[in-house]
Amino acid sequence: MIELTGVQRTYFVGGSPVYALRELNLSIASGEYVTIMGPSGSGKSTLLHILGCLDRPDSGSYRFAGEETARLTDVQLSCLRRDQIGFVFQFFHLVPRLTSAGNVELPMVFAGVPPEERRRRARRALEVVGLSARAGHRPDQLSGGEQQRVAIARAIVMNPALLLADEPTGNLDSGSGREIVNLIEAMNQGGLTLIVVTHDPTIGERARRHIHLADGVVVSDERPAALTSRPGGHAGEKGLA
Amino acid sequence: MRPADLLLFAAGALRGHRLRTFLSLLGVAIGVASVILLTSLGEGARLYVTGEFASLGANLLIIIPGKTETKGLAPLVSTAPHDLTRQDAEALLQRVRSVRRVAPLAVGTASVSAEERSREVTVVGATHDILEIRHLKMASGRFLPADLPEAAVCVLGARVQRELFHGQNPLGRLVRIGEWRFRVIGVIAPRGTSIGMDMDEVVEIPVDTALRLFNRSSLYRILAEVGSHEDIPQAEQASVRVLRERHAGQEDITILTQDSVLATFNQILRALTAALAGIAAISLGVAGLGIMNVMLVSVSERTREVGLLKAVGVTYRQVVAVFLVEAAILSSAGGGLGLLAGLGAGRFLQRLYPEFPISPPDWAVPVALAVSCSVGLVFGILPARNAARLDPVQALTRGKA
């Protein structure tokens, strides 16, 4: 599903180049559960943004579902994000003036989904994340965990193939963090490809595949088979945040 | 994306900042209201002046004895002009087809006295038709009789009547004009202020009587009323021909029309209205800058929202559309408000000054609304493009708590 070959991304900070990603090769199959870990500045956020088509590589190739993304126009990339990719962010990024239902409906509003269908699908998505009772609340009336669950409902409401989570528990207490991780893992079990960026090893170890980045290159890519059968195992007890 | 959803989304964003929205809307409202009000005043001035001219008679030819040459050499042999007579006036009425009415006038000043009071007054010798030509109305009694051009009767202007008779009924009383005595048969209704001769300040007597009273042989002038405005040039030429024939082939009269004067006034006052509109339009421009400012603030406050929109697949054009529609809502709502305020203020002034016509020219309302809407679109472009050009990665990570 995801094929990165020789991906390079360089920023210029104060005139000197910063190599965020260097000749990175990576392929992820459909339905996988991958965590990307590494210290600050290792390039993991840059990688996530490129995977989510929010950023483009300077060189190298990124094929999404067989399609070379470098050849897509901005509008086509927007459609790809809209239909194929869901994002969950550390700071939730809910629109403060909209209710939970309104926030979940947002991608559908801009996709031109008729209001009746929008309401039905938003209600369904909020049910999935267990927030039906909070549909009419605005973000400032919700706890952090609830806000993140609204964000997850928004990320899945367009039925994407890929869910990208950037430090999804980074701003939550351990209890809420555990619930969030359980929620997105459940979606992965439903067939959704899940990629989580985190610097928290307890979350990182839960995935079936761990990728460690340092200085813009993959330093390890492990598939500890032992853990695949026990999601929610020992990691929960140690606390997440 | 459905247009209704776009509107709802933009309106929702504006509702989030009520005070800011209201203030920038107010800027446009003031601009539009001032355009409407100032052009109403300019148009009112134009209507007032042309109305006054029309009340003097827009279809009038004014025939004056003597030729005033404004170009060419002075004639080598100077001939005294022929008298302009009542027969000349009669000939115009008979022979120039488009002339409907004529009013021969003889004007002089005389001391008018009633009992022990007396004053100097302009005495107008006229005929019955002057009543229609000058659109005069009678306050009491009747006007000069049509069939008795030499009768010793007079009609008083409203102020003359007030000053000589102190509100007593003057009808049937005798006044002395110069050496002669006249019977008062009517009083003219007051006209108020009016361009031209103040009809409140005159005494009218039959024209033949006036000629003898002032011992003159020539009329002061002849007013000829033609059927319609379009007939004026033709009537002017025909009148010159008739009078030249009657005056032994000499063209010794001057004809004035109200037309040229009126056209000039019209032009000046239209220009005035346009200038007022221009001045008011400056305030619309300032209001546009206000909208731009508010939208720029809004974009920078909502950087993360824009980042999120891009992340969920909102296109460049859609982001531009969202912010443009917000700006357009601000300016068109302001325009609507300003239109109501401008028309309302016009109504209010109209009530204060009922004799002065206050209404915006036909073009002002649609133009003001169109301009106010486009102000939002024009001044919204820069902020909207700023928003749409935001890099999603930077937009999402900016302002992390």
For A29-78, give the DSSP string. Answer: -TT-EEEEE--TTSSHHHHHHHHTTSS--SEEEEEETTEEGGGS-HHHHH
Three-state DSSP class for B313? coil
In-domain check, residue B62: no
Is the model's pLDDT at A234 over the cut of 50?
A: no
Instruction: Evaluate whether B195 touches B105 at the Cβ level (below 8 Å).
Output: no
* Residue B205 and residue B234 in one domain: yes
CB contact under 8 A, B315 and A75: yes
* Residue B242 and residue B268 in one domain: no
Query: Residue B155: its pLDDT value, please?
Result: 93
Other beta carbons within 10 angstroms of residue A214's beta carbon come to 15
In-domain check, residue A94: yes
Query: Residue B50: its pLDDT value, please?
Result: 78
Q: Which domain holds residue A143?
A: 31-42+74-238
B5 and A CB contact within 8 Å: yes
In-domain check, residue B67: no
B309 and A CB contact within 8 Å: yes
Q: Which of B44, B33, B36 is closest to B365 using CA atoms?
A: B36
Q: Which residue of B has its CA nearest to A82?
A: B313
Between positions 277 and 306 of B, the ones with CB within 8 A of A are: 304-305
Number of domains in chain A: 1
Q: How many CA atoms lie within 13 A of B49 on its CB side?
A: 17
Give CA–CA dist B291/B23, Å, rounded. Answer: 9
Q: Which residue of B has its CA nearest to A102?
A: B9
Phi (first) and psi of residue B361, to 5 degrees: -65, 160
Count CB pairs under 8 A between chains A and B.
76
Q: Please provide the DSSP assignment of A103-155 as one string.
A: HHHHHHHHHT--HHHHHHHHHHHHHHTT-GGGTT--GGGS-HHHHHHHHHHHH
Q: How many CA atoms lie within 13 A of B228 on its CB side?
A: 1
Give CA–CA dist A95/B305, Å, rounded. Answer: 6
Give CA–CA dist B236/A207, Å, rounded. Answer: 105
Q: Is residue B46 packed enough to be buried (19+ CB in 10 Å), middle (13-18) or exposed (0-12)?
A: buried
Output DSSP code: residue B228: S
Q: How many angstroms separate the CA of residue B301 from the nearest CA in chain A?
A: 12
In-domain check, residue B60: no
pTM of the model: 0.70
Using 70 as the pLDDT threshold, list the residues of chain B that sit under it.
55-58, 68-81, 192-197, 260, 399-401
Enclosing H/E stretch for B13:
helix B3-15
In-domain check, residue A91: yes
Q: How many angstroms separate the CA of residue A232 from the nearest CA in chain B?
A: 29
Between positions 10 and 69 of A, the ones with CB within 8 A of B are: 49, 52, 54-55
* Residue B353 and residue B390 in one domain: yes
Here the CATH number for the domain that contains residue A91 is: 3.40.50.300
Q: How many angstroms separate the CA of residue A216 from the nearest CA in chain B?
A: 18
CB contact under 8 A, B312 and A52: no
CB contact under 8 A, A82 and B312: yes
Other beta carbons within 10 angstroms of residue B340's beta carbon come to 14
Who's near B6: CB < 8 A, 6+ residues apart? B321, B322, B325
Q: Which two tokens stand for residue B62?
A: 């004014």
CB contact under 8 A, B304 and A93: yes
Q: Which two tokens stand for residue B237?
A: 């030429």
User: Rounded mean pLDDT of chain A?
Assistant: 88
Q: Residues A156-170: pLDDT tens digits?
A: 999 999 999 999 998
Who's near B211: CB < 8 A, 6+ residues apart? B106, B125, B217, B219
Give CA–CA dist A79/A110, Å, rounded. Answer: 10
- ipTM for the complex shown: 0.88
* Residue B147 and residue B192 in one domain: yes
Residue type (1 letter), B320:
V
Return the bridge partners of B126, or none.
B206
SS (H, E, C) B42-53: HHHHHHHHHHHH
* Residue B314 and residue B168 in one domain: no
Q: Residues A74-115: pLDDT tens digits?
A: 999 999 999 999 999 999 999 999 999 999 999 999 999 999
Q: How many angstroms separate the CA of residue A97 from the nearest CA in chain B?
A: 7
Give CA–CA dist B120/B213, Å, rounded. Answer: 15
Q: Is residue B256 packed enough to be buried (19+ CB in 10 Å), middle (13-18) or exposed (0-12)?
A: middle
Q: How many angstroms separate the CA of residue B298 from the nearest CA in chain A?
A: 14
Query: Residue A27: its pLDDT value, please?
Result: 92
Give CA–CA dist B312/B318, Å, rounded. Answer: 12
In-domain check, residue A173: yes
Question: Kindly report the CA angle at A142 between A137 and A143, in degrees rounded to 5?
Answer: 170
End-to-end CA distance of chain A: 30
In-domain check, residue A57: no
Other beta carbons within 10 angstroms of residue A28's beta carbon come to 19
* Residue B246 and residue B267 in one domain: no
Three-state DSSP class for A22? strand
Give CA–CA dist A63/B320, Å, rounded. Answer: 29
In-domain check, residue A116: yes
Q: Which of A125, A79, A145, A143 is closest to A135 using CA atoms?
A: A125
For chain B, how many helices (H) and strands (E)? Answer: 12, 10
Q: Residues A65-81: pLDDT tens digits?
A: 988 999 999 999 999 99
Q: Which of A190, A220, A164 is closest to A45 using CA atoms?
A: A164
Q: How many angstroms separate the CA of residue A202 from the nearest CA in chain B?
A: 24
* Residue B49 and residue B167 in one domain: no
Q: Please provide the DSSP assignment of B313-336 as one string.
A: T--HHHHHHHHHHHHHHHHHHHHH
Give CA–CA dist B208/B114, Å, rounded. Answer: 22
CB contact under 8 A, A91 and B401: yes
Query: Residue B197: its pLDDT value, please?
Result: 66
Query: Residue B323: its pLDDT value, please?
Result: 93
Q: Which domain holds residue B389?
A: 3-53+263-397
* Residue B275 and residue B242 in one domain: no
Task: For residue B1, give the nearest of A55, A109, A154 by CB distance.
Answer: A109
Task: For residue B312, give the nearest of A55, A106, A114 by CB distance.
Answer: A106
CB contact under 8 A, A80 and B313: yes
A106 and B CB contact within 8 Å: yes
The structure tokens 């009000």 sit at: B37
Query: Residue B83: its pLDDT value, please?
Result: 84
Give every strand in the sheet of A16-28, ordered side by side. Answer: A16-28, A2-13, A59-64, A67-68
Return the bridge partners of B177, or none.
B112, B180
Three-state DSSP class for B71? coil
Give CA–CA dist A21/A34, Å, rounded. Answer: 18
Q: Which residue of A has its CA nearest to B12?
A: A97
In-domain check, residue B73: no
Three-state DSSP class for B326? helix
In-domain check, residue B205: yes
In-domain check, residue B59: no
Number of domains in chain B: 2
Q: Which residues of A touch B393 (CB under 8 A)?
A: 49, 54-55
Q: Which two tokens stand for residue B14?
A: 């504006």
Output DSSP code: residue B83: P
Q: Which residue of B has its CA nearest to A112?
A: B1
Is the model's pLDDT at A61 over the cut of 80?
A: yes
In-domain check, residue B112: yes
* Residue B16 and residue B114 in one domain: no
Final residue of a structural domain among B230, B251, B272: B251
Sign of CA dihedral A66, A69, A72, A74: positive
Query: Residue A239: its pLDDT value, please?
Result: 40
Q: How many CA atoms lie within 13 A of B143 on its CB side?
A: 18
B118 and A CB contact within 8 Å: no
Q: Which two tokens stand for residue A92?
A: 């939730």
The structure tokens 């005798």 sit at: B174
* Residue B233 and residue B267 in one domain: no
Q: How many CA atoms lie within 13 A of A81 on its CB side?
A: 29
Residue type (1 letter), A51:
L
CB contact under 8 A, A110 and B314: yes
B15 and A CB contact within 8 Å: yes
Query: Residue A123: its pLDDT value, please?
Result: 94
Instruction: Provide the pairing of β-strand A85-88 with A162-166.
Output: parallel
CB contact under 8 A, B393 and A97: no
Give every strand in the sheet of A33-37, ordered side by side. Answer: A85-88, A162-166, A193-197, A33-37, A209-214, A217-222
* Residue B318 and residue B242 in one domain: no
Give CA–CA dist A148/A234, Å, rounded. Answer: 23
Q: Residues A19-37: pLDDT tens digits?
A: 889 989 999 999 999 999 9
* Residue B155 and residue B270 in one domain: no
